[in-house]
A and B are shown apart, each in its own frame.
Chain A
């Protein structure tokens, strides 16, 4: 079992009323409400949190990035990854992940990641994401080619990591006449790639085809099981058996030494007015061409205010009942997490410990309890359930490095 700590790095010092008055807290909420003095304080708070997480023995620190919104202060995950590469000693630096389509130059990305891997002495896990719809708009990237750019940039990054240069890359979206980075990853064949996601079937299928672990982000137990059903079926098609080493799960868990206080702080998981990623106009979060064409009709109904969110909207209480938010003392939290582990059998687990305006003192307490009490108990449970991480299972980094393939469909193996 690989156990990680995660925070969205909330910009908790923004004036909430400004967002309510504007009617949105993403993409277009003016950055006149961003106070860099508070920003400086918060970035340093987050460094303190990560250093404590390493000290109390987490296996990994999970990082991500978003743009133009108070729910996440990381505009470039590689910056924090580089800091942690130098400042920490043991924890894996797990990027979930770099939004590939936003890269205008994937070779630069490959270089940055290789540097992080070398500086950290081989502790990088280089996850990749498509980036949310509003990230495309915030960076001027065409949402209609999001998936094509994702797949093509992935190919270029992996080739830059593994193929001896100089070579030439002529793609549809990326053309590089001389690829020859003088920075290559320490880990061979290349750093592990994990792929997080929320809803797109296409991403689950793609991850399974690559044999990359898929990290389900805060899905319900039922949704998570459906994700593994699809993943395992694709895995069988290409010739391997999906298992815990292919499965990751991120869940919002706040731990405190006091039940009431834990629940009070856990309410902060809904601090962006109940939304996962801030209030946005639907056409910002799902620009045309970004989503699956099969969801087009349902989406336009929702976007025009004539149907409810196809992703569903649930209250704090409902999310607590569904175990999508867990809060309490280590004892209660471990009991609930045990149920999730038994039902969904992941080999990678990330606890999203603190959000919103939870104080730094309470955040540090949470991290300490996670590292000293929750994770040791989870490790025992994982052992009894035989939930092995990709590291413990020595899983291949990519399908093409597999030695155990028995493809159901011969042609799909390539």
Chain B
């Protein structure tokens, strides 16, 4: 996996400069997968991204205001982010993409799916925010420390240590604060969900895979059932020994679920 060659570029979509990482086969027929990252931003490289890039043309855009993308001060909702990412797909002339949304990115993916219900090949939501959990609440960033919050995404703290180091760097803490500020700007109230999204998902044509870690302490698993109910063609997979960040804690297990779902190409 270490041999995967990632390119960095800046793409302008909707007047916003987005940072884009891209890797994988470039043959014309290769399926494009757009991975939408968490509200904690994203690291530049992750084993999960590499695992997908072995099969697909993988795009990891940094959300506006997160990680290496600039912050649009006008932005007020997660739906705005979804529209900008839709613009990114148009800019890159990508059609029929599969979306893989991780946590907060799952909310963005679901919004994107609701906007143009017929033009996605597949929708994968992993521990997705965006819907009010019928039982329990989404963990509140605002009252949780940076490291405590990031650690809550993992079932096994050794997995956190492997990804971020036992003591994350000051650069990482600062980035978490920048990402947190953007999350407040666009998802403050109601916190981390949309009241209208569940009603808008009924038209989505693409098959959907809803994945949850069996020990998700960030988004209660009850939200998974709500997504399954709202999406016409959805199935649920639970990943064992995983917290909210399935992509970082069980990257191989998640990648194989996705490859099985989308197909090898």
Contacts and interface: CB of A to CB of B under 8 A. Distances in A.
Contacts of B145: 281-283, 303-304
Contacts of B181: 144, 288-289
A288 B170 CA distance: 15
Nearest to A289: B181
A142 B185 contact: yes
B184 interface: yes
A287 interface: yes
Contacts, number: 59
Interface stretch (B171-179, B221-229, B257-265): B171-179
Interface string B154-183: 000000000000000010011011101100
A333 interface: no
A304 B172 CA distance: 11
B114 to A, nearest CB: 25
B143 A144 contact: no
A287 B170 CA distance: 17
A28 interface: yes
A289 B183 CA distance: 10
Given A137-B143, A281-B145, A283-B146, A289 B184 contact: yes
B188 interface: yes
Interface in A45-79: none
A205 B87 CA distance: 40
B65 to A, nearest CB: 10
Given A283-B143, A284-B143, A301 B185 contact: no
Interface residues of B, number: 18
Given A142-B189, A300-B170, A301-B170, 8 more contacts: A137-B143, A144-B185, A144-B188, A145-B185, A283-B146, A287-B142, A289-B181, A304-B146
Interface of A: 27-28, 137, 140, 142-145, 281-284, 287-289, 296-297, 299-301, 303-304, 306
30 contacts: A27-B143, A137-B143, A142-B184, A143-B142, A144-B184, A144-B185, A145-B185, A281-B145, A283-B143, A283-B145, A283-B146, A284-B143, A287-B142, A287-B184, A288-B177, A288-B181, A289-B181, A289-B185, A296-B174, A296-B177, A296-B178, A297-B174, A300-B170, A300-B174, A300-B176, A301-B170, A303-B145, A303-B146, A304-B145, A304-B146
Interface of B: 142-147, 170, 173-174, 176-178, 180-181, 184-185, 188-189
Report, nearest first, the 8 A-B pairs whose CB atoms are least far apart: A288-B180, A289-B181, A288-B181, A300-B173, A144-B184, A142-B188, A144-B185, A288-B177
